[in-house]
Structure 1
Amino acid sequence: MNLSRKKILTLGLALITAFGLFATGCGGDTKKDDAKKPAATANDGIQKIKDRGVLKVGCKVDVPKFGFKDPKTNKIEGFEIDLAKVIAKKILGDENKIDLTGVVAKTRGPLLDSGEIDLCIATFTITDERKKTYNMTSPYYEDPVGFLVKKDSGIKSIKDLNGKNIAVPQGATTRKGVQEAADKAGVKVTFSEFPTYSECKTALSAGRADAYAMDTSNLLGYIDDSTEILPDKIAPQFYGAATKKDNKALFDLVEKTFEDMKKSGEMDKLLTKWNLKK
């Protein structure tokens, strides 16, 4: 059968138009299918934990009473570990379904950012700056910064720290608090920063630092026969638990749980258990 050029062009255009309508129709179905897909919900963070079957928590492993590794059992224990267990039981029905990761001041934030931990309960001081980056609960503990010195150093007050070098943990709020207190007292100090609390204590013992400044409750775990804590207490630190900003469901659950624990007296019982009740 012979077709004229005009008829061929007309037939071609008709086929192109028909194909276009078909493609559009398919595209419309895709959009409808996408619309049927459930949107992400505010509880996704908690659901991920349930699906995984374990709550990943960042904690301290070198802070007596708060989070430390018991040399006898090789288990991490402490007040903040007990708090983590309460949250694990709330979400998963079993307080032992927790995966603990040791953190220091410098690594807490990055581990939260990367998603390697869901929750950080690790003597994490609440500050306005940190609240811009993380969800931070109301305080569950308050502790001022103190100074650990050698008994034979002649240092008896913050005034005696003039010209001295002070060991502080990296990434902690301690340095800022000490500097402000030193400025107020009219003394000049220098700082040496170390990754861990034990390294700060080693620097003091070895004479590489004249004092070790940190939250007083933490210092109590490092005091020995040759050292003492000065009577000066500065810069009250308020500890809170932290989650990523986009994990508000977990944050809300932790905040509510802590509030309930305070009202019921359970928080006080745990503080008493670890000899932290004031």
Structure 2
Amino acid sequence: MKKNKLISLAFILILMAGLFVACSQPEEELSSLEKIKENDVIRIGVFGDKPPFGYIDENGENQGYDIYLAKRITKDLLGDESKVEFVVTEAANRVEYLQSGKVDLILANFTVTPERKEAVDFANPYMKVSLGIVSPDGSVITDVEQLEGKKLIVNKGTTAEMYFTQNHPDIELIKYDQNTEAFNALKDGRGDALAHDNTLVFAWVVENEGFTTGITELGNQDYIAPAVQKGDTELLNWVNDELKKLGEENFMHKNYEATLKPVYGDTVDPESVVVEGGIVE
């Protein structure tokens, strides 16, 4: 009898030990893509002051070329374009927002560079870009050498800042966080010229008389692409597949017609801007 009791006690202890081990096993962590689907919302970092690419209109709504793509990505991922949470970012915060998990995806005119590739993972591109320099009509800058002894306005964390820091360290840079601040500084005469993405300055001079894009292409042609947190392969692959599918319906050209052509008119060739299907020819 005593032996049977001991066997029963041992059996119970074994069962309890098994339950303890099972309960102590950590649950398998969901991937970012699974979390997005579970939460039924995707957080996308965008600009709020860079028309016509990412900006907030008079009704408080996010608009622009990047936003048009973001809404379609949201619709195809979650079934409804309204299931997006737009998180407004400055250029210098884009990497930080991904690394800290504040956003799932960046669609804020993010130019691909070797330095940025070390910090985030870029999907395939959806846009072409170079640097451009805009200046007042009375003293148009047409060559970088003309900037010697002058003040050049740039935004912090942009390719313009990186380009001039690396290639023309003697040129004085006046740096701002926000696009609005930078362009207002140019209007107010706090700098002699402003360097930014040529696609942006082309649009800005259309809306602002008295200024000219004297240098339309500077440095190499670069590409703008969505970005995800470093190592987030599942979401990265999903975005690349999405861009490929959208290319089959010429989606980015439709995006251009809806968001950029009303600003550019016929002054810009769409093929100099649009990348379709994530494929660079």
If the TM-score is normalised by the length of the shorter chain, which range does it land in?
Answer: 0.7 to 0.9
Measure how far apart 1:158 and its partner are. Answer: 2.2
Moved over 6 A (4+): 19-25
For 1:222, what is the secondary structure of its paired residue? helix
Given candidates 122, 138, 153, the residue that maps to 2:108 is 122
5 Å matches for 1:104-253? Answer: 104-179=90-165, 182=168, 188-223=170-205, 224-235=208-219, 236-253=221-238
Give how far 1:259 is off. 1.8
Change (3 A) 1:154 1:130: closer
Q: Is the 8 A contact 2:151 2:193 kept in 1?
A: yes
Report the structure number with the largest CA radius of gyration: 1
Give the partner amino acid of 1:58.
Answer: G
Among residues 43, 60, 63, which one is paired with 1:74 in the alignment?
Answer: 60
- SS of residue matched to 1:142: strand
Q: Deviations over 1:25-78 (max 9, x none)?
A: 64444335667x76446xx2122112222111110111112111122x321111
The DSSP-based 3-state class of the residue aligned with 2:260 is coil
- Report the counterpart of residue 6 of structure 1 in structure 2: none
Unmatched 5+ stretches in structure 1: 1-14
Indicate how the Cα distance of structure 1 residues 266 and 60 shifts in structure 2: closer, same or farther if over 3 A, else same. same
SS in 1 for 2:92: coil
Higher mean C-alpha displacement, 49-58 vs 261-270: 261-270
Contact 1:104-1:196 at 8 Å conserved across structures: yes
Read off the aligned partner of 1:229 and give its amino acid letter. T
RMSD: 2.6
Write the deviation string for residues 161-206 of structure 1: whole angstroms up to 9, x where unpaired.
Answer: 12211111011121222345548xxxx4110110011111122122
Alignment of 1:7-156 (within 5 A): 26-32=16-22, 39-40=28-29, 44-71=31-58, 73-156=59-142
The residue number in structure 1 matching 2:277 is none
- Alignment partners' CA distance in 1, 2:51 and 2:98: 23
Structure 2 vs 1, CA of residues 127 and 249 (structure 1 numbering), >3 Å: closer, same or farther? same
Letter paired with 1:31: V
Tell me the secondary structure at the aligned position of residue 107 of structure 1: helix
Contact 2:152 2:195 in 1 (8 A): yes
Please, which runs of 5 or more residues in structure 2 have no aligned partner?
1-5, 262-269, 272-281
Counterparts of 1:20 and 1:164, CA distance in 2? 86
Aligned to 1:275: 260
Conserved 8 A contact 2:134-2:215:
no
Indicate how the Cα distance of structure 1 residues 190 and 264 shifts in structure 2: closer, same or farther if over 3 A, else same.
same
Q: Provide closer, same or farther for how the CA distance between residues 58 and 227 of structure 1 changes in structure 2, counting only shifts above 3 A.
A: same
1:63–1:221 contact (8 Å) kept in structure 2: no
Q: Scaled by the length of structure 2, what TM-score is found?
A: 0.81
- For the 8 Å contact 1:177–1:234, the answer to whether it is kept is no
Corresponding residue for 1:10?
Answer: none
What is the distance in 2 between the residues matched to 1:171 and 1:23? Answer: 61
Partner of 2:266: none
